[in-house]
Amino acid sequence: MRNMIRLALLTVCVLLFFASIARAEDNAKLVKRAVEESTLDQPGMMPFHLRAEFAPSQERDNDSHRTGTIEVWWESPSKWRRVVQSPEFSQILIVNGESQWQKNEGDYFPEWLRELAVAIVRPIPLPMNVLLECVKNAEVKHLMGQTNFNWSAINSSGDTQGNGKGYLALIDNSGFLFYTGGVGWSGSYKDFKDFHGHKVAYSVASGYVEVTAKVTVLEDLGATPSGFFDVNTIGSDVHPIETVVLTEEDLRRNLIPGKAIDWPALKNGPLEGVVWTEVVLDRTGKIREMIPPIADNPGVAEAAERGFRAMQFQTVMRNGEPVQALARLSVRFKTVRPAGTETFESARSYFEKGWEASLPAAKTTTPYVLRAEFQVGGNKGIETGRYEDTLISASEWKREAWIGSSHLAHSRVGEKHYKLEEGPGIGVLRLVMQIIEPIPTADTMTESDWRIKRDTVNGTKSIRVFRGPADPNEEYDPGHSMGYWFDESGRLVKFDIQGLEIVFLNVEAYSGVEVARRIEVVKDGKLALRVVVKEISPANATEVKDFKLKGYEWQRAFTAEVR
């Protein structure tokens, strides 16, 4: 019997493995098609002439001088001419075979402008094989009619731009690109129009100070003046501008040792972590552009920005010539709490302990069935509903709730999720599902959003983990905040969201978990909903259901549900 079970498990694992490969291949095909449809400067494309005008996307940035035009005359991937004009920098660039001719007005080519000029004709400047490798290894999420791909660094391609974090999104109903981004490239795309069978975005936005380029002309190239693509014409700059993308390791080789960053004491959030940014160096090694630092604790961002801007670099050289350089740059921070401030564990650790201490689904070694009833006040008076949770393993379970003619079911079989929602009372059923398992999954929380403080709930000493606005004394605002209260053992005793106070009562032990047998939801001091657990017991063969809900397959998106 054991050998049969092992063989069955091995078969399931093999099938899941090949299913994941098939999904990755399908995703790669979708991305490949979207990129090829949107890329103008690729082999086999009809020669074209393009003109676009750009300006800040937001009125608040109108004083940034980020206005101008981009014009491209393209005959082939190895023969083209581009003119970029803006108040602070202009460039004429001619590429013909292995040679180029370049004339610049200004000694620094702004990175936001360079990326915009590329994005108009080439949304993703990675080699296709590198991009598809990234996509096959990406985290895939579905949300609001779009499919999102996010990937971290890979090491097999040897492509510097491809060896950093990147992302892209496709619009599901059209298959078009929605947005893209990585080290040295970014863009968002809309207003697609046909050009010789390709779907070209006539509106392209890029940059952390966002600039939008509107295509005003896209036509066949037609005749060009004599010498239009001549790279031997007198007048080319002796030292043309080139921008290279570096790894952080390569960038640090040019870093001149300086003073360490002085980190402030932090009252909230993690005391240790990483803060990173992207910097662009001009040809003297000076930082000319930098995105606002992103930190595991926002409290260090201001100090990090001062520290990054104070860094000095030697000139980056390529083939004996100084070049502009772009790279991500990170530093670790470590600090302390202000004197007299208590130190707590991370919010993530309280959530993880709370999940294991309070919810039977955390103990998947013992299959169980949990049945409950709930009562809620409505226009028809007090209505009674049912909830049932059958769990066989972490990848085989079904949660259901009913009230009146409404039914909500969420299940999982292997890697497939199912969700059924029907009836006018679906909002109540969603609330019931949430309050029974309210602790958020780790991949939907940002540690720095949460603050921690000691508190008391009905005489029980607790740790409050909360986010949202708070006054200087960190008094909790129940109407605009979210909070979780855990007792000293880690068990969840209270949950607060959108003015609803959810209290977990009548706790009894089951299979190593402290299960609340009664959950009360209070709104404006009045009882609004009550859940009573009627039974929790081991699952047996007669209680194991078919968890597949045919026709209701569901892709897990950005949801806080752990299951």
Residues 6+ apart with CB under 8 A from 351: 439, 440, 442, 445, 465, 484
**CA–CA separation, 108 vs 116, rounded Å?**
15
The arithmetic mean of pLDDT across residues 43-60, rounded, is 96
As a residue count, the chain comes to 563
**CA–CA separation, 124 vs 218, rounded Å?**
20
The arithmetic mean of pLDDT across residues 189-217, rounded, is 96
Residue 475 has pLDDT above 80, yes or no: no
Q: Are 481 and 498 in contact (CB under 8 A)?
A: no
Predicted confidence at residue 19, as pLDDT, reads 44
Paired tokens of 383: 């209505």
Predicted confidence at residue 2, as pLDDT, reads 43
b/e burial code for range 412-446 (CB count within 10 A of at least 16 → b): bbeebbbbeeeeebeebbebbbebbbbbbeeeebe
Predicted confidence at residue 498, as pLDDT, reads 82
**CA–CA separation, 103 vs 231, rounded Å?**
11
Q: Which CATH class is domain 354-554?
A: mainly beta
Residue 155 has pLDDT above 50, yes or no: no
- Provide the 10 A C-beta neighbour count for residue 544: 14
Residue 516 has pLDDT above 60, yes or no: yes
Give the residue with greater pLDDT, 386 vs 416: 386
Task: Give 10's pLDDT tier (boundaries 50, 70, 90).
Answer: very low
Q: Are 128 and 32 in contact (CB under 8 A)?
A: yes
Residue (of 487, 483, 485) closest to 514 by Cα position: 487
Longest dimension (CA), the chain: 89
Q: How would you class 271 by CB atoms within 10 Å of its CB: exposed for 0-12, middle for 13-18, buried for 19 or more?
A: buried
Residue 258 one-letter amino acid: G
Residue (of 521, 257, 479) closest to 374 by Cα position: 521
Predicted confidence at residue 539, as pLDDT, reads 87
Q: Are 229 and 79 in contact (CB under 8 A)?
A: yes
Predicted confidence at residue 7, as pLDDT, reads 42
> Any alpha helices (H) in 39-140, and if so which ranges?
111-121, 128-136
Task: Give 542's pLDDT tier (boundaries 50, 70, 90).
Answer: low
Percent residues over pLDDT 90 in the chain:
72
* Reduced 3-state DSSP string for 325-375: EEEEEEEEEECCCCCCCCCCCCHHHHHHHHHHHHCHHHCCCCCEEEEEEEE
What are the extents of the domains in the chain? 39-123+187-241, 243-334, 354-554
**pLDDT tens-digit profile of 74-83?**
999 999 999 9
Give the bridge partners for 551, in sequence order.
none
Residue (of 473, 482, 475) closest to 501 by Cα position: 482
Give the residue with greater pLDDT, 554 vs 67: 67
Task: Give 450's pLDDT tier (boundaries 50, 70, 90).
Answer: confident
Phi, then psi, of 253 in degrees rounded to 5: -65, -25
The arithmetic mean of pLDDT across residues 236-260, rounded, is 95
Residue 156 has pLDDT above 50, yes or no: no
The two beta strands, 513-523 and 526-538, are antiparallel
Predicted confidence at residue 365, as pLDDT, reads 76
Residues 6+ apart with CB under 8 A from 100: 93, 94, 231, 240
Residue 17 has pLDDT above 50, yes or no: no
Percent residues over pLDDT 70 in the chain:
91
Round the average pLDDT of the chain to a whole number and report it. 89
354-554 matches 243-334 in CATH topology: no
Task: Give 471's pLDDT tier (boundaries 50, 70, 90).
Answer: low
> Any alpha helices (H) in 369-451, and if so which ranges?
426-436
Task: Give 476's pLDDT tier (boundaries 50, 70, 90).
Answer: confident
Residue 442 has pLDDT above 80, yes or no: no
Predicted confidence at residue 5, as pLDDT, reads 37
Predicted confidence at residue 141, as pLDDT, reads 86
Task: Output the CA angle 243-245-247, nearest 5 degrees.
Answer: 150
The residue to which tokens 């929380």 are assigned: 445
Task: Give 540's pLDDT tier (boundaries 50, 70, 90).
Answer: confident
**Helices and strands (H, E) in the chain, number of each type:** 7, 33
The arithmetic mean of pLDDT across residues 142-159, rounded, is 72
**CA–CA separation, 223 vs 325, rounded Å?**
37
Residues 6+ apart with CB under 8 A from 19: 415
b/e burial code for range 327-345 (CB count within 10 A of at least 16 → b): bbbebebebeeeeeeeebe
Residue 265 has pLDDT above 70, yes or no: yes
Task: Give 432's pLDDT tier (boundaries 50, 70, 90).
Answer: very high
**pLDDT tens-digit profile of 309-357?**
999 999 999 999 999 999 999 999 999 989 888 888 888 899 999 999 9
* Reduced 3-state DSSP string for 501-541: EEEEEEEEEECCEEEEEEEEEEECCEEEEEEEEEEEEECCH
CATH architecture of 243-334: 2-Layer Sandwich (3.30)
Q: Are 482 and 497 in contact (CB under 8 A)?
A: yes
Residue (of 345, 342, 442, 436) closest to 386 by Cα position: 436
Residues 6+ apart with CB under 8 A from 22: none
Paired tokens of 341: 């401030």
Predicted confidence at residue 205, as pLDDT, reads 97
Strand boundaries in 125-261, DSSP class E: 139-143, 146-151, 166-171, 177-182, 185-195, 198-206, 211-220, 243-245, 255-256
3-state secondary structure at position 404: coil
**CA–CA separation, 529 vs 461, rounded Å?**
25
